[in-house]
Structure 1
Amino acid sequence: MDLTDEPDDRVSASVIARLLLGGNEAEKGFVPAVRLRGAHVTGCLDVSGGDVECELRLEKCVLDEAPRFGNARTRQLRFADCVMPGFDGGGLRADGYVSLSGSVIEGQVKLVRAQLLGGFRMNGTKITARDDRYAFFSGALLVEAGMFARNAEVTGGMRMTGARLAGGLFMEGARLSNPGRLALDGQNITVSDAMECGQGFQAEGTVKLRGARIDGTLSFDRAGALRAPGRVALQLSHADVGELILTPSEPIEGIVSMTYARFGVLLDNPDFWPEQLRLTGATYESLRGGGVTRRVDWVSRDPEGFRPQPYEQLAAWYLKDGNEHLARRTQLLKMRRRRLTLPWPSRAWSALLDYTVGYGYRPWLVFGWLTTIVVLGTVVFSRVHPRPIKEPAERPDFNALAYVIDLLIPIGAFGQREAWDAVGWTQWLAYGIIATGWILATALIAGVTRVLRPN
């Protein structure tokens, strides 16, 4: 029934409800529907628990009270460019699509446990919560044919915990505002297609996708401001995402948490890396977006300090990608960052291992130290000869180079150390060379055998 041409634009909600519930027998050969345009709906449109066989289409209507479709079963529902104080669809089952596109809603949209088999649309919709409740409240929502909220404005946050969206979630250009709280609570959400939060998407408050399962792409490509100062701005911990595109148009203000998440592909932009990033336990199969040599800085942004696992994961990816040099560099920097967390005795020993053999990742440093010591010792002992400690017939001729090498090597090789003894102040130099030899040998052996590389 089309009520557009009624002389009075005021229509009682009870009349619409009776029509929807079969108050007027449908004619054979026609699809039953109720359509209104530009009407002022008075009273409460309440079909809770009913079985609605008609399609409902309201365009540019004003509703005095929030429509109630709780636990009802309906066909297609369309509220296009309407003004209403809320919408109650808790437990609603719609065999067609439900649309709130273009509407202005001053109150809560409630779709808890709703099943929308034909999809859900709220493109360009403006929802404003009247109190501390969520503006969009839809825990355990099921949408089979995709949810579209492009260019929507939601003030008061969206709660979609446990929602299952088989056809994807498309929120390009949407603006969510709930400062100091959750702008989007999508904990444990399951998206069997893409989740698009780019192209100007903005969020004042936390975007929480903890434990989310997104089979396709989760995209923040060219997203606008994601702000949660002093809080977690983007929560992706324990999420399982096929591909994450984290390339906003400006840096995220707040912490980004990816702890214990799994990503197939992670694409980001080094110029807009978050200042604070938690990566402990996160795994990924591929990193894209440039900044390959700068990734060590990327894994070093945990606000809680040093965590070893992100370095291990990055080094493993470098090896898989064929960048062995960068993998070694990552492991070296991991040990250096770890050193800052140690007590001072361990820190001193750790620094020594770093400067001598680079924790085993730079064993060639030993040869630089050895060369320096050999040259210095050879010059000194060439000018200040040690005194003999054996009879001439029992000792080899003095050779400064061989003498220094004998001092360096823990087990003498040339017999010089047993035949000659340093004199005066050069004794201290000899003791220093002997000690340095033991230290370098120990560090080199331990480094090469990876004893110094804790898991």
Structure 2
Amino acid sequence: MQLVDVRLGGPGARYALNAYGLTTAELVVRPAESPRGVVRLEHAQVGAFRDSPALWLGRSARGSVLVDGFTYGALNDTRSADARKRLHWFERVSNGYSPALYDQLAAAYQRAGQDEMAETVLIARQHRRYAAAGPAGRIWGALQRWTVGYGYRPWLAVCWLIGLWALGSVWFVGHEPVPVDADQNPVWNPWIFAADTLLPIVNLGQDGYWRLEGASQWIAGTLVAAGWILATTAAAGAARILKRV
């Protein structure tokens, strides 16, 4: 089915295109101008879907293109129309958060070999998901976004760990604490101490031997909390990725 350089809808028309439940090997919707009316693609099953900006950037926005249950195997212009541009198109017309919309788009990019764009879509999916949650959900979502990229960018957690470890080490280089038990004669190493404080569960032989006071106590507490937050968000992100494998 091909609709190229045509005018869809007209004055007073409710639907510019009604393709509800359509099943076809190919659907091409490239109108000459923005549709005048609602475009229904709900529950349509399409092998290859080819479109143009005119379909999405119409005079109206929310609800102008209905895509609930719309599935497609391949998408045109996966290179020229990047993920952020398509996300803008889809989010402009969608009524609220629709997980399937993001999943379909990400799958199309993956099938086209555009893994980076698929990742961008999946990150946007999680961002919209948590944005629609309550205050606690938004806070948890923000932590996952900036620390591990919702699990899709685990290297962010490594960057945070290295940065916090370096800052903590620099502080403790100039602020050596006193031993809890001088008879044990522990050897002070600020670099290992910062890592031991930051990394949860791991014991590097420095934690527990020193009496921290004042600002050092607060900094050590911050490192402990940051380490657990990073570990928790990384585990949550990894679990999400494993569910999709």
Calculate the TM-score normalised by the size of structure 1: 0.48
Structure 1 position 267, deviation (Å)? 1.2
Distance 1:287 1:377, change over 3 A: same
Counterpart check, 1:304 vs 2:95: yes
Counterpart check, 1:398 vs 2:182: no
Match 1:283 to one of 61, 71, 77: 71
Structure 1 position 389, deviation (Å)? 0.8
Distance 1:403 1:232, change over 3 A: farther
2:204 equivalent in structure 1: 414
Greater helix proportion: 2
Structure 1 position 428, deviation (Å)? 1.1
Structure 1 position 269, deviation (Å)? 1.3
Would you say the 8 A contact 2:32–2:54 is kept in 1?
Answer: no
- Where in structure 2 are there 5+ consecutive unaligned residues? none
Using the alignment, how far apart are the partners of 2:54 and 2:185 within structure 1?
Answer: 68
Structure 1 position 417, deviation (Å)? 1.2
Larger radius of gyration: 1
Match 2:149 to one of 358, 380, 386: 358
Q: Which moved more, 1:249-258 or 1:435-444?
A: 249-258
Distance 1:271 1:422, change over 3 A: farther
Structure 1 position 342, deviation (Å)? 0.5
Distance 1:432 1:229, change over 3 A: farther
Give deviations 1:243-269, integer Å, cap 9, x for gaps: 221111112233322111111221111
Overall identity of the aligned pairs, in %: 33
SS of 1:351's partner is: helix
1:235 equivalent in structure 2: 18
Structure 1 position 222, deviation (Å)? 0.7
SS of 1:354's partner is: helix
Using the alignment, how far apart are the partners of 1:281 and 1:256 within structure 2?
Answer: 14
Structure 1 position 273, deviation (Å)? 2.5
Distance 1:282 1:342, change over 3 A: same
Q: CA RMSD in A?
A: 2.3
Q: How many residues align?
A: 236
Structure 1 position 314, deviation (Å)? 1.3
1:448 equivalent in structure 2: 238
Query: Within 5 A, what are the aligned runs for 1:23-422?
Result: 217=1, 219-224=2-7, 226-227=9-10, 231-270=14-53, 272-274=55-57, 275=61, 276-289=64-77, 290-293=80-83, 294-392=85-183, 394-422=184-212
Q: Which amino acid aligns with 1:241?
A: T
Structure 1 position 418, deviation (Å)? 1.4
Distance 1:228 1:357, change over 3 A: farther
Would you say the 8 A contact 1:277–1:301 is kept in 2?
Answer: no
Q: Which amino acid aligns with 2:46?
A: F
Give deviations 1:296-327, integer Å, cap 9, x for gaps: 23332344211000111111122211111111
Using the alignment, how far apart are the partners of 1:253 and 1:367 within structure 2?
Answer: 50
Distance 1:271 1:350, change over 3 A: same
Would you say the 8 A contact 1:241–1:263 is kept in 2?
Answer: yes
SS of 2:195's partner is: helix
Using the alignment, how far apart are the partners of 1:432 and 1:221 within structure 2?
Answer: 60
Give deviations 1:126-154, integer Å, cap 9, x for gaps: xxxxxxxxxxxxxxxxxxxxxxxxxxxxx
Using the alignment, how far apart are the partners of 2:165 and 2:111 within structure 1?
Answer: 40
SS of 1:418's partner is: coil
Structure 1 position 363, deviation (Å)? 0.6
Would you say the 8 A contact 1:359–1:453 is kept in 2?
Answer: no
Using the alignment, how far apart are the partners of 2:18 and 2:40 within structure 1?
Answer: 5
Using the alignment, how far apart are the partners of 2:180 and 2:233 within structure 1?
Answer: 32
- Where in structure 1 are there 5+ consecutive unaligned residues? 1-216
Using the alignment, how far apart are the partners of 1:441 and 1:222 within structure 2?
Answer: 53
Using the alignment, how far apart are the partners of 1:242 and 1:451 within structure 2?
Answer: 31
Distance 1:303 1:316, change over 3 A: closer
SS of 2:37's partner is: strand
Calculate the TM-score normalised by the size of structure 2: 0.87
Distance 1:227 1:384, change over 3 A: farther
Greater strand proportion: 1
Using the alignment, how far apart are the partners of 1:228 and 1:419 within structure 2?
Answer: 80
